[in-house]
């Protein structure tokens, strides 16, 4: 796996884990209002980053699926060629 793809996966995984930690901290309610606002802002930024990574993954899957469908269409032969045998 190229470094860029590996870094993206690590960043997504780390961001998601960090987001879970932020949510857990916010759920305790032990922070001051200012600290809670900072955590909330951090959570929003992490959410946006994760959503962007998921969008990029979805776009990549769509592209790969389209390329595969094009390849299958180009490589298909009429069934008759196989059923009729040699001419």
* pTM of the predicted model as reported, rounded to 2 decimal places: 0.67
- Considering its fold, how many domains does the chain have in total? 1
Judged by phi (left if over 0) then psi (alpha if -120 to 50, else beta), residue 77 lies in: beta
> Per residue in 13-67, pLDDT tens?
999 999 999 999 999 999 999 999 999 999 999 999 999 999 999 999 999 999 8
Would residue 9 count as lying in a domain? Answer: no
Say which residue the tokens 């595969």 belong to: 68
Would residue 61 count as lying in a domain? Answer: no
Task: Say whether pLDDT at 85 is over 70.
Answer: no
Would residue 1 count as lying in a domain? Answer: no
Rounded CA separation 80/13 (Å) = 50
Would residue 49 count as lying in a domain? Answer: yes
């Amino acid at each position: 796996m190229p470094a860029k793809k590996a870094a993206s996966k690590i960043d997504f995984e780390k961001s998601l884990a960090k987001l879970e930690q932020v949510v857990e901290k916010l759920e305790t309610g032990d922070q001051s209002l200012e600290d809670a606002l900072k955590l909330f802002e951090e959570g929003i930024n992490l959410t946006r980053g994760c959503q962007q990574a998921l969008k990029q993954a979805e776009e990549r899957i769509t592209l790969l699926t389209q390329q595969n469908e094009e390849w299958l269409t180009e490589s298909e032969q009429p069934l008759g060629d196989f059923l009729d045998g040699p001419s």
